Amino acid sequence: MSEEVKALKKALAIKIKHLNFVRDELEELSNLSGYELQNELVEFQINVDGGKYVETTRAILPKVTGNKTSPVGYSHDHTEQLEMSPQGNPALTNTVECSQYKPLVVILNGPPGCGKDTIASAWVNAHSYHHGYSTKSFKEPMYNVAAAALGMPLENFLALYEDREWKEKPRPEWGGKSVRDLMISTSEDFLKPMFGNNHMGNLAVESIKQEGLGQDDIIVFTDGGFDAEVRELEKNFNVQVVQVLRDGCSFDGDSRSYIEGEQRKTYLLFNDSTVESAVSDLDWIIAQAQDDIYGRN
């Protein structure tokens, strides 16, 4: 991803936060003054490199009704499909009702070294009082394969895998390949050709279902990078993709990439400050996602 695209993404993320701040302030003023507010769905979009990169975001902005004029000036495009009521549409009604009982799956999508594992671990620790908050990764089933290839117990492998230097160190006996290369090859050269590109997504779905989670529970995946895997989760759960960006980090040499899609609402998290700041940003994103899905305030 070019620096220009990163800059545009960051500007868009700031715009989203500003719009939500304005919304919250207007709602507070409405409560104090007694004036009724009417919500409008506003859509913003940026296209980069001839449409190669497309980012779309939506925000609910309130407008004062009656004789008062709106204190917010902006241009907007109404998205009628998103505003459509589920009433009269049994299929849509069932989808809306079922979503109330599904857990939220947050997928951190970013290049190696951008801090996904650190952010997710710190976020879970910050909410240690909630036993339904946890982390997972799509590559969990591959740990067994890699541990067996190295001839070590799984628990020893998992402990060593936390060491980035260890897992990325070239091994002469493997022709200069690293443990990370082994993990990538296991996925791309063996599992996907044999079972399909969505196989790791299917395994992740089954893993979550076994836990019997509900709408108050949140699972954060720390290694999202393939659209096919995310789609399997989207078929079964409420999913929020969060792209994590950090200066100096890229997907060069990695089989994953940023997950894009015009029909998928995506938030951006810039890990360019402290871990505490990143956790705070993730909290904010999750709150927005819960509001969108469950209608929470």
239-261 tens-digit pLDDT: 999 999 999 999 988 888 999 87
Please count the other Cβ atoms lying within 10 Å of the Cβ belonging to residue 187.
Answer: 23
Q: Rounded CA gap, 114 and 39, in Å? A: 36
Rg for the chain (alpha carbons), in Å?
21
Task: Flag the least confident range among 33-42, 97-106, 113-122, 236-245.
Answer: 33-42
Q: Of how many residues is the chain composed?
A: 297
Q: Are 103 and 218 in contact (CB under 8 A)?
A: yes
Q: What is the CATH number of domain 90-297?
A: 3.40.50.300
Instruction: Band the pLDDT of 39: cuts 50, 70, 90.
Output: low
Q: Rounded CA gap, 209 and 196, in Å? A: 21
Task: Give the residue from 292, 294, 284 showing the smallest Cα distance to 126.
Answer: 284
> Which residue has 């290839």 as its token pair?
149
Instruction: Band the pLDDT of 218: cuts 50, 70, 90.
Output: very high
> Which residue has 């100096």 as its token pair?
248
Average pLDDT over residues 149-171: 88
CA angle in degrees (0–180, nearest 5) for 230-154-105: 20
What was the pLDDT predicted at 97?
42
Q: Rounded CA gap, 18 and 103, in Å? A: 28
Residue 240, token pair as written in the block = 């929020």
Task: Give the residue from 164, 137, 162, 133 showing the smallest Cα distance to 282.
Answer: 133
pLDDT surpassing 80 at residue 132:
yes
Q: Which residue ranges make up each domain of the chain? A: 1-84, 90-297
Q: Are 267 and 243 in contact (CB under 8 A)?
A: yes
Task: Flag the least confident range among 78-87, 238-247, 285-294.
Answer: 78-87
What secondary structure letter does DSSP report for 191?
Answer: I
CA angle in degrees (0–180, nearest 5) for 197-202-207: 145
Ramachandran category for residue 51: left, alpha or beta (phi over 0 → left; psi -120 to 50 → alpha): left
Task: Flag the least confident range among 12-21, 103-112, 189-198, 209-218.
Answer: 12-21
Q: pTM, whole model, 2 decimals?
A: 0.65
